[in-house]
A and B are shown apart, each in its own frame.
Chain A
Amino acid sequence: MDDLILKLKKEVIEQLNLEDTTPDDINPDSPLFGEGLGLDSIDALELIVLLEKNYGIKIEDPKDGKKIFFSIRSMAEYITEHKK
């Protein structure tokens, strides 16, 4: 799980152009939206694309997004459960 969390942090930083942010700056349990990294709605769409592109996971129900993308750890747990 720790390896996946580190990989996800790097992918999120690159995909969302979080310049001047390092993996160490991201607490895997902190909320990604609102506080923490302060991501916005376009970032949310990018995270959906990231899951599909890098892990082959398509989110069928948009309502699940809030739970899946709560934090880096919740993303990692969802990937572990659903990776094809």
Chain B
Amino acid sequence: MDLTITSCSHIYDNKVIVNDRIIFYQENIIKFADFAKTVYKQEQIVYPKFYKMDALSKLGFLAVELVLKERKLEGYHPEAVGVVLSNSSSSLDTDIAHNDTIKDRSGYFPSPSVFVYTLPNIVIGEICIRHRIKGESAFLISEAFNGRLLCDYVEELFNNNRVEACLCGWVEVMGDNCHAMVMLVEKNNPPMDGISGLRPMLFNVENMNFIMKRN
């Protein structure tokens, strides 16, 4: 089955690339929270829940928001759209933040709003709520970006008719370091009218690795 990457975002080193176009770049290193907020405002996204999310969810939310701004999910049943993400640190960044609220027994005030993000798949939940996606989902952990793992998993979902479209990629945050690469994969050579800047690419390991590594 031929699968096509129909939209793609790449966020790293204070840079945001959407379908081959750099839409944001900040030369000086800034804190992730400020970076995420700046991109959110620049893109004129209105979703107050964004501010309550942890860093991993903010990054995944922004990456998907930018992908779907270019390529809408119209025409798909909510159950036919999947989300498969991966990273290496799981939710460790937020786990540490949660630990900070409980390590002092004399000031033991765990924050419920931090605790609820101490699982990596919560980012998928946030994306699904935002875009009304109800299909298959998975969050895979690997030491480094593993295009083969992601590709095999997503292809299997398509081959078994579990999805007709799938958001997939890498969403990694640790402290102020972040790296996200999210793509929308569709089948049956979908029409690409109106997509600016993107050269449609076959969904395969080589192209995933190419997108992941390019600057």
Contacts and interface: CB of A to CB of B under 8 A. Distances in A.
Interface of A: 16-20, 38, 42-43, 45-46, 49, 52-53
Contact of A19 (B48, B109, B112): B48
Contacts of B37: 19
A19 B109 CA distance: 22
A53 B113 contact: no
B25 interface: no
A53 B112 CA distance: 13
A46 B109 contact: no
Nearest to A50: B109
Nearest to B51: A19
The bracket for how many chain B residues form the interface is 10 to 19
Nearest to B52: A17
B142 interface: no
A19 to B, nearest CB: 4
Given A20-B48, A38-B48, A52-B109, 13 more contacts: A17-B51, A17-B113, A18-B48, A19-B51, A42-B112, A46-B111, A46-B112, A46-B113, A49-B109, A49-B110, A49-B111, A49-B112, A53-B109
8 contacts: A16-B52, A16-B113, A17-B52, A19-B37, A20-B48, A43-B113, A49-B109, A52-B109
Contacts of A38: 48
Contacts of A19: 37, 48, 51
Nearest to B116: A42
Nearest to A41: B112
A42 B52 CA distance: 10
Contacts of B51: 17-19
Closest 9 CB pairs of A and B: A45-B112, A19-B51, A17-B51, A53-B109, A17-B52, A42-B113, A46-B113, A42-B112, A49-B109
Contacts of A20: 48
A45 B48 CA distance: 19
Contacts of A43: 113
A84 B7 CA distance: 57
A53 B52 CA distance: 20
B44 to A, nearest CB: 13
Nearest to A49: B109
Contacts of A52: 109
Nearest to B40: A19
A18 B50 CA distance: 10
B125 to A, nearest CB: 13
